[in-house]
Amino acid sequence: MDDIIDKNSPEPIYLQIKQNLLESIDKGVYAINQAIPSEMAMAKRYQVSRMTARMAINELVQEGLLSRRQGKGTYVSGTRFDYHLFRITSFNQDMAERGMAHFTKVLESKVLAASDRIKKTLELSANSKVIYIKRLRYADDVPLLLEERYLNYWLCQPILKENLEQESIHNLLIYKYKLALTKVKQFIQAKNLSENEANLLNVGKGSAALYLQRTTYTHKQPVTMVAYLYRGDRYRVYAEFEPYE
């Protein structure tokens, strides 16, 4: 690695360090999923303050080329995935199409009394029950997506007996339970991860994420509401459409 920086240059020192790091990543000095030196080690290497080293690293974290892992350090990020705004597909199908090994961990699976918010979203009556499923989705052994889902209990009762670490809920609803999924409402916003969310996704507390909430209908009846947290260092939103005349 070229550790030379020019302290007389008009270019800020932290940007010179950032460029050196970029060159090292491009040359394979630091491979995907490999840790880079700590802020303290970087400061010593470049003979700068720790704050200056941190600024260089922060820029690359914000750009998604590095990611912080709670209690472990800062690592070179892997591939960034495009989330297709106008396409609905399952995580399993998406990863399979990318040729990536993937698996799912079920963190919670139970029946709950529907909260007021969920009753409103799923258009349920008073005292209704819902099925709650929380899953963590991995690709190439990296946690990418935290999913919390609420399902209409009366339409989806058998789902708790399914192997939800192997099966796609989307596919079960369509092909096994014969529910025609006819309409989707969704919104996307930026979110900073809580400590628990960050720990599950193996990034630092407060890291950026894409929060997507989707409600799926069969005809006029909402079937499920799911909230996804996509790691902000690994996902970006993509859309392609014809411009208006």
For the segment 66-112, what is each residue's pLDDT rounded down to a tens digit?
A: 888 778 888 887 666 665 555 566 666 666 666 666 789 999 999 99
Q: 207 is written with which tokens?
A: 């890291």
Residues 238, 84 contacting (CB under 8 angstroms): yes
Residue 30 gets which letter from DSSP? S
Domains of the chain: 13-76 (1.10.10.10), 81-238 (3.40.1410.10)
Q: What is the pLDDT of residues 178-226, one digit of tens each?
A: 998 889 998 989 899 999 999 999 888 888 888 999 999 998 899 999 9
127: how many CB neighbours lie within 10 A of its CB? 8
Q: Does residue 241 surpass a pLDDT of 80?
A: no
pTM of the predicted model as reported, rounded to 2 decimal places = 0.68
Give the burial string for 28-50 (b: 16+ CB within 10 Å, else e): eebeeeeebbebeebbeebebee
pLDDT-derived band at 1 (thresholds 50, 70, 90) equals very low
* Ramachandran bin of 2, using left for φ above 0, alpha for ψ from -120 to 50, beta for the remaining angles: beta
Residues near 56 by beta carbon (within 8 Å), at least 6 away in sequence: 14, 15, 17, 18, 21, 42
Q: What is the pLDDT of residues 145-167, one digit of tens each?
A: 999 999 999 999 999 999 999 99
Binning the chain into helix, strand and coil, the percentages to the nearest 5 are 30, 35, 35
Q: What is the pLDDT of residues 53-67, one digit of tens each?
A: 999 998 888 777 788
